[in-house]
Structure 1
């Protein structure tokens, strides 16, 4: 299984260490999590969209992969607008619904905040190969090899879920039990997939143990995970986006530190 398309695999951005991509996403997300205002999130989003063409991802691939984010952001904002903390002029009030200036402002901030945090994370990890990520976690971050290799093995099994689901569906249709009761069929197939996944996981764990993946001692790695100028540059870009967003928010008086006194 791979998360890369053809063009992204050959691009310069795809060769950046996944640990740096993880760090850059974190540097952008942390300050946005600490505040809830429109200015900081919108500023970060604008800067991210300006840099998006350099990620080496086709626009079609970008929209296909990020449509859940574009769907979740307005739905989250709508929830905040209807049920968020009231403040200022109340425009609509019915039962538990109360739309006011305060809730609308929080909704707008939430909308841009979700996009600014989620979009760069999705785009960066479109160009991440699971094996490269495991190499980086084990060699750069020095995480336990047993944990890293187990996570890599599990991640590579995710791609089989879709194939298993299709096989189960075709098998049920061949037996004539897939024409009625869609809800019941959904739960039955989900349970069957769970049982199949547990069995496959047990076999995989046994196979890995037999090959010495759980042996004590220092583990060797087939490929060296490099962390150089490109990786530090990407982290500096993430830090710059966060710093500019925070600076603009503070200068405009929009900074709203959510952990501060109310």
Structure 2
């Protein structure tokens, strides 16, 4: 996905340079769930910093450079900056040592610590998720869900269709924006006008996504995806020992995060 959302890769990096990208999607998702759940239940800066360090060190093993991960995750970085700014301005608890006292803006050590921990927690959850899903082929994900997670083909194929349509949202956003600009609808430097145009564009994108999803659901039902008959597997995907190792590594890293948080 490009444009207003998180960039998603349509292809998995070359196998020789991305050993973790070749792992079964279910194994990657389970390891991700263990890792991010451990980060979710801690606000210790050291533990969250460890989680982010592991994420950036593991990025090349997924075929993505740390800088490329930051570029893909710019919405998460923007969200983290927003968290820090909002807490710095509106936090109720302003105990601790005063670090900045500029008119109505008073930033204390407690405010800074809370803002930093929440921002790091957001990044420790978002960036590993981007790392996993941007290196997962949608078809491989559906095959792995059916063969390894034993989910119903209806759910897996629906997830495949939704995953493939995510990349269209960025293109459609740009098309709506250009069409409105061609009609003379431009915010210029007016922030109120910019927000109004942003909200109306987002609403138009939502309406288009719902219509496309409805048409896709009807088309899939018409082709027998809801027939209830057993479906064969076109591409067998074996579960290898390396997949177990990845899940075990996720569990170990999750335990280390909690250990650092409660040391």
Deviation at 1:59, TM superposition (A): 4.6
- For the aligned residues, what is the CA RMSD? 3.1
Match of 2:140 among 101, 117, 132: 132
User: For the residues of structure 1 that align with 2:247 and 2:159, how far apart are their CA atoms?
Assistant: 24
User: For the residues of structure 1 that align with 2:114 and 2:233, how far apart are their CA atoms?
Assistant: 48
Using the TM superposition, name which of 22-31 and 41-50 deviates more: 41-50
User: For the residues of structure 2 that align with 1:29 and 1:39, how far apart are their CA atoms?
Assistant: 15
Deviation at 1:100, TM superposition (A): 2.4
Deviation at 1:212, TM superposition (A): 0.8
| Residues 19 and 61 in structure 2, CA contact (< 8 A), matched pair in contact too | no
User: For the residues of structure 1 that align with 2:100 and 2:13, how far apart are their CA atoms?
Assistant: 49
1:205 is matched with which residue? 217
| Residues 25 and 141 in structure 2, CA contact (< 8 A), matched pair in contact too | yes
Structure 2 residue matching 1:215: 3-state secondary structure? coil
| Residues 36 and 110 in structure 1, CA contact (< 8 A), matched pair in contact too | yes
Which deviations, in whole Å up to 9, do the C-alpha atoms of 1:178-201 show, x marking residues without a partner? 355675665665555445444433
Which deviations, in whole Å up to 9, do the C-alpha atoms of 1:57-92 show, x marking residues without a partner? 145532321222233323323333441533333455
User: For the residues of structure 2 that align with 1:235 and 1:186, how far apart are their CA atoms?
Assistant: 41
Where do residues 1-262 of structure 1 align in structure 2 (5 Å cutoff)? 3-5=9-11, 7-8=13-14, 11-82=18-89, 83=91, 85-91=93-99, 98-168=106-176, 177-180=183-186, 190=202, 192-251=204-263
User: For the residues of structure 2 that align with 1:75 and 1:189, how far apart are their CA atoms?
Assistant: 22
User: For the residues of structure 1 that align with 2:125 and 2:20, how far apart are their CA atoms?
Assistant: 19
Question: For the structure 1 residues 191 and 37, does the alpha-carbon distance in structure 2 shift closer, same or farther, using more than 3 Å as the test?
Answer: closer
Using the TM superposition, name which of 195-204 and 208-217 deviates more: 195-204
| Residues 8 and 57 in structure 1, CA contact (< 8 A), matched pair in contact too | no
| Residues 13 and 21 in structure 2, CA contact (< 8 A), matched pair in contact too | no
What runs of 5+ residues in structure 1 fail to find an aligned partner? Answer: 252-262
2:4 is matched with which residue? none
Deviation at 1:93, TM superposition (A): 6.8
Question: For the structure 1 residues 7 and 202, does the alpha-carbon distance in structure 2 shift closer, same or farther, using more than 3 Å as the test?
Answer: closer
Structure 1 residue matching 2:107: 3-state secondary structure? strand
Deviation at 1:101, TM superposition (A): 2.4
| Residues 59 and 69 in structure 2, CA contact (< 8 A), matched pair in contact too | no
User: For the residues of structure 1 that align with 2:143 and 2:72, how far apart are their CA atoms?
Assistant: 25
Which deviations, in whole Å up to 9, do the C-alpha atoms of 1:84-123 show, x marking residues without a partner? 5333334557898653222222223223322322222211
Which has more radius of gyration?
1
What runs of 5+ residues in structure 2 fail to find an aligned partner? Answer: 2-7, 188-192
